Structure 1
């Protein structure tokens, strides 16, 4: 038997910086993955006109390019988190990143709209494996005293992604690198993904949950079918002339979702691991918060698609012009988000979010008026005030809402509540993109100028459709404003901190390190 002498102090001092360096490199890897996911979710809208021109994709196919990603991401989030708890967060993170990289290559090499849609759905599913592991890996790698700084960096990366996504998409699309048009917006993920996989294999530490919840694949399947019974006919119905089967499918969707609810109750009684913890909806503030998140997601998904198409197909701007026009929105959103959490919400409570809804509403109405008043002569500088209002209002809502919604949720269910809340936002985005068939593209079709004719006439059709869609967005914001009255007037500081800690623990559980 061989014995080893205690390490000399010098050796211990050398080992500590090495371990410290490993975890900071690991942090850089997972933050890069988060940045890559967020950029990929926002980069596509700006390239949609280029994709349409290059591939001949129909408007419904373009809707699926964005909605397919959001839906696959949303439906896989909770399952992805549980798979990481069961089989190891590092393993699932690397698997998700590898799949995301392959899916990005398939997107960039797509030879048809159908192939692009399929690759985007795969991309969303792989993101659902990768993204839930990020916070768990941070939890494992950093002690409580350092997590505040780390989560601050995480928030900064998210803000940076929101600002950079449209600009990167615009630069790559308008740059037409190697004559590839829009394809580099996906191919740029390849070197980033390969580097992330190599560094992740070396520097990430494996961990599992000691008593992870079981998978609920049947629940996931039922929820997927129920949602597709609404989303598919909503997206395809306009192009197919609104056939009877579409209305039958949408009418039957609530029945399928009722089956899902019944199964979830049985699953909870059987092994306590349903996909959705239905008892959470007995908490009024949580149920209202989920409603806010859903409607806000619908309004946001519809707005961002309409905004992009209005600028490029309605006003005739290039991708870079459109991307730069969005900078005031992004900067206002980032500034308002930071101010709301640090200064405004502790003093004024939910009134900050309600003010945000009203500010967004005023921005949407101003944009609606500008689109009708200036027509195809609208300039970026004229649009800027509306963009600032919309961005500032969004920042006042999205930053503080999670704490407010989770503040009255029992600590043991904080993790489940957080997962449901985040999933609901993604589902709302997918539904908003599907709703654009009625709120936007139906009006474009009605003018008879969607696919050709004089440039001015075609532009006018998109401007009319933009005005119509903005009324839908405004209506959604009015509903959001009303639902915000059901949230707590004020979240106690101690409660918020406790709930955040509980969510961290309940959502990921105490990690077990695996060598």
Structure 2
């Protein structure tokens, strides 16, 4: 018997809402049960760091460009619009292609897509490092985001497939810690690489470093991941993939470039058009599923309470976190005059709290209070943001980095409690193995969409309040305004966390 052959578990009805009682229940076709491995894959813990390297690299390359921004402006004479696209183009391509990337793994094997995605990401990173001008770099960053979307959904699907249910919380904790380490490493390691200026490469080093890591991870994954993997011989649903990517593009592209371009008319038309395109795509996907086809996104899965609330919580928290990190970076570097390295090191305690609470605390808290761990996590994020806001209000232009760090650390704890718990709850709620990649892609899409939209919403607020001013007090006022917007986003995520049932039914 293959190591991936499984035994049946209790079925869950697609239209039934776990944890919901009362009212008239709509009966639907039972979802195929999630099997439990008869003989768990022996090398699963050895291969886990290899597959987690995909998430580390994806998050590292999201945040490292913040640190390299001034170098790009100096070396490539990058204007504000191009700089926004160098940052946001990666996020747009990443978010818009994730569901398709996850579905490709379901159809052609998660091992194969992970290895191909890792190799493609390394190649795209090399092209970014070789870019001769800013607009070429924009194009290669969009390509890099698309290749990240090919490898990242596979790691969550592999965790869901290779690890028994009892071991998944620990694996998800490691996943959550990796998000934190990757995000903060983008700030800290990015600053170190820029300051070291290896071989005179400057900013190009932050992209070249992905090449040897990607080659090593692809080689180890090809050697260690099991070849015996169930594949589902259906078509990709190109119309659904194009519709989802198109709807996200119509929203994310104008959001990314709107502020530096002064919000021209086309940006508003594009954002308005994203709504009917999304609705038409959802309708098409629903009809395709009813006809027995294989949609790129199972709308019935998204309608389930655990799944939809999990997308809102994860996406909402990262909307706050991405904007919070960007605005704090601007405050520390431009407002308080810290170097990129010193500003990056100021985020190190946040990253350690993120990683530590993910790996050591989230699972223990979840064992005691179930899905209420997400209430605790989002609540911790709220508390941390409130502390930062209070410090900024109390200290004004005399604010110090040391006074901000306690609030930043509590935000990190909130991240560590929230993100792995969201993913663990959703993927353990009866998602069948043949939809693991799709589910992982949809979850990660909501999170990366939060990253992209958060940096824009909080960043736009920050710059609108800052205006043309350059004093420390002006940067403090801008950060306070951005923090207030972040608090409003966290309040929505907290409300979604209360909607979840206390315990997820497997």
TM-score interval for Structure 1 and Structure 2 normalised by the shorter chain:
0.7 to 0.9
Aligned pairs for 1:365-444 (under 5 A) are 365-405=386-426, 411=432, 415=436, 416-436=438-458, 438-444=460-466
Distance 1:156 1:443, change over 3 A: closer
Partner residue in 1 for 2:374: 353
Aligned pairs for 1:186-197 (under 5 A) are 186-197=207-218
> Aligned to 1:51, which of 72, 97, 101?
72
> Aligned to 1:227, which of 230, 243, 248?
248
Partner residue in 1 for 2:311: 290
Query: Is the CA contact (8 Å cut-off) linking 2:323 and 2:454 kept in structure 1?
Result: yes
Q: How far off its partner does 1:114 sit? A: 1.9
1:214 and 2:235 aligned: yes
Structure 1 Cα separation of the partners of residues 42 and 291 of structure 2: 45
Please state whether the residue corresponding to 2:291 is helix, strand or coil: helix
Structure 2 Cα separation of the partners of residues 465 and 59 of structure 1: 19
Please state whether the residue corresponding to 2:275 is helix, strand or coil: helix
Q: State which drifts further: 57-66 or 120-129.
A: 57-66
Q: How far off its partner does 1:336 sit? A: 2.6
> Aligned to 1:327, which of 329, 339, 348?
348
Unaligned runs of 5+ in 2: 1-40
Partner residue in 1 for 2:468: 448
Q: TM-score, normalised by structure 1?
A: 0.79
1:68 and 2:50 aligned: no
Aligned pairs for 1:144-163 (under 5 A) are 157=178, 160-163=181-184
Structure 1 Cα separation of the partners of residues 227 and 133 of structure 2: 39
Q: How far off its partner does 1:280 sit? A: 2.5
Distance 1:157 1:485, change over 3 A: closer
> Aligned to 2:475, which of 424, 439, 462?
462
Q: Which has the higher contact order (CA 8 A, sep 6+)?
A: 2
Structure 2 Cα separation of the partners of residues 426 and 273 of structure 1: 24
Summarize deviations over 1:80-129 as a string: whole Å, max 9, x none: 23333444444433322222112111222223322222212111111222
Aligned pairs for 1:233-382 (under 5 A) are 233-382=254-403
Query: Is the CA contact (8 Å cut-off) linking 1:104 and 1:187 kept in structure 2?
Result: yes
Distance 1:292 1:413, change over 3 A: farther
Aligned pairs for 1:154-193 (under 5 A) are 157=178, 160-193=181-214
Q: How far off its partner does 1:186 sit? A: 0.9
Q: How far off its partner does 1:486 sit? A: 0.8
Unaligned runs of 5+ in 1: 1-19, 450-456, 500-515
Please state whether the residue corresponding to 1:488 is helix, strand or coil: coil
Distance 1:480 1:272, change over 3 A: same
Please state whether the residue corresponding to 2:146 is helix, strand or coil: helix
Query: Is the CA contact (8 Å cut-off) linking 2:458 and 2:482 kept in structure 1?
Result: yes
Instruction: Name which one, 1 or 2, has greater alpha-carbon Rg.
Output: 1
Q: How far off its partner does 1:466 sit? A: 1.8
Please state whether the residue corresponding to 2:202 is helix, strand or coil: coil
Structure 1 Cα separation of the partners of residues 76 and 393 of structure 2: 31
Q: How far off its partner does 1:472 sit? A: 0.9
Structure 2 Cα separation of the partners of residues 35 and 133 of structure 1: 14
Structure 2 Cα separation of the partners of residues 60 and 212 of structure 1: 43
Q: Aligned-pair RMSD on alpha carbons?
A: 3.3
Q: TM-score, normalised by structure 2?
A: 0.81
Structure 1 Cα separation of the partners of residues 322 and 376 of structure 2: 21
Q: How far off its partner does 1:158 sit? A: 5.0
Structure 2 Cα separation of the partners of residues 127 and 435 of structure 1: 23
